[in-house]
Amino acid sequence: MSATMIEARRVGRTFGEVRALHDVSLRVRAGSVLGLLGHNGAGKTTLINVLTTALPPTSGSAVVAGHDVVRQGRQVRRRIGLTGQFAAVDDRLTGHANLLLVARLLGASPRAARRRSEELLAAFGLEHAARRPARTYSGGMRRRLDLAIGLVGRPDVLFLDEPTTGLDPASRVQLWEIVEALAADGVAVLLTTQYLEEADRLADSIVVLDSGEVAATGTARELKARVGTLTVQLSFAGPGQRAAAEDALRRSGLRPAPGADGSAVGVPVESSAEVPAVVRALDT
Ligand SMILES: Nc1ncnc2c1ncn2[C@@H]1O[C@H](COP(=O)(O)OP(=O)(O)OP(=O)(O)O)[C@@H](O)[C@H]1O
Ligand SMILES: [Mg+2]
């Protein structure tokens, strides 16, 4: 079996009164993808921050690429790539210059940096736009450049925070293919997503976070079997309504999850006889 590259052991993190993470444990092996699913504020980014050494845990511990994230932060950082939720791209620089900058920061010689940058631009289909400032890129191109930046140092472990949020279906599939190829190459990938569909397609295993706690762990197939096969899809006029509805559904003991797109919510049910309960929860 391949080596464990990410291991969180009962990681906790509080911000004052807010308990962002509580007792979160998970494990990702080389060459596999773990999908971290959860609602807004579930703690996904906080966990990535802990695992990438940006934020110390307040309890528990984590080992990434064989090194402790608190005591051996520098060694961890040398082995990981991160594509954050908010793009690390410098808009004023061209795609090429963005990559060059990171390669040089990582210690590559000018020549090696240029080679790596060109390699990545080609791999991500950005050659034609390499000499344009990144601010002229489309959302999908930016996301690809962002991912390329995370790969400059040839990481063994890759963290992707909502890599496909805001992308159109075609760009999304393109990104999925890149992630699949990286995993096939032996990279351990932890990605967060709000889309069950994305986790289903990409992840070898899934961890569902709910208010900072692990609510479920398993393969997509196992999780689907557990939640049942029927889902009531609810659409809302705005995010405020959606948030209020999610609260009401949870208070009624239902388990709302992000739906097919950002404005929808899915509620798993065992049978159609449960639909009235969903309606009643919304009514209250
Ligand atoms: N620096 C901070 N100071 C105070 N509270 C924080 C801080 N960072 C995160 N939190 C809180 O921790 C909780 C988890 O936030 P986090 O950003 O990890 O959620 P998330 O799952 O990434 O959400 P989203 O899907 O919206 O990106 C939230 O309640 C958030 O307000
Ligand atoms: Mg987040």
Domains of the chain: 4-89+137-224 (3.40.50.300), 228-283 (3.30.70)
Q: What is the largest CA-CA distance in the chain?
A: 66
pLDDT digits over 60-83, tens only?
Answer: 999 999 999 999 999 999 999 998
Q: Look at 5-14, 95-104, 166-175, 247-256 and tell me which has the smallest mean pLDDT.
A: 166-175
pLDDT interval class at 224 (50, 70, 90)? confident
- pLDDT of 229 higher than 70: no
Tell me how far the alpha carbon of residue 8 lies from the centroid of ligand 2, in angstroms: 18
Tell me how far the alpha carbon of residue 211 lies from the centroid of ligand 1, in angstroms: 10
Cβ–ligand 1 distance for 43 under 6 Å, the answer yes
Task: Look at residue 228 in the predicted model and tell me its pLDDT.
Answer: 58
Tell me how far the alpha carbon of residue 43 lies from the centroid of ligand 1, in angstroms: 6
Cβ–ligand 1 distance for 138 under 6 Å, the answer no
Query: What integer is the mean pLDDT of 83-101?
Result: 89
Q: Which residue's CA lies nearest to atom 26 of ligand 1?
A: 40
Q: Which residue's CA lies nearest to atom 3 of ligand 1?
A: 15
Amino acid, res. 53: T
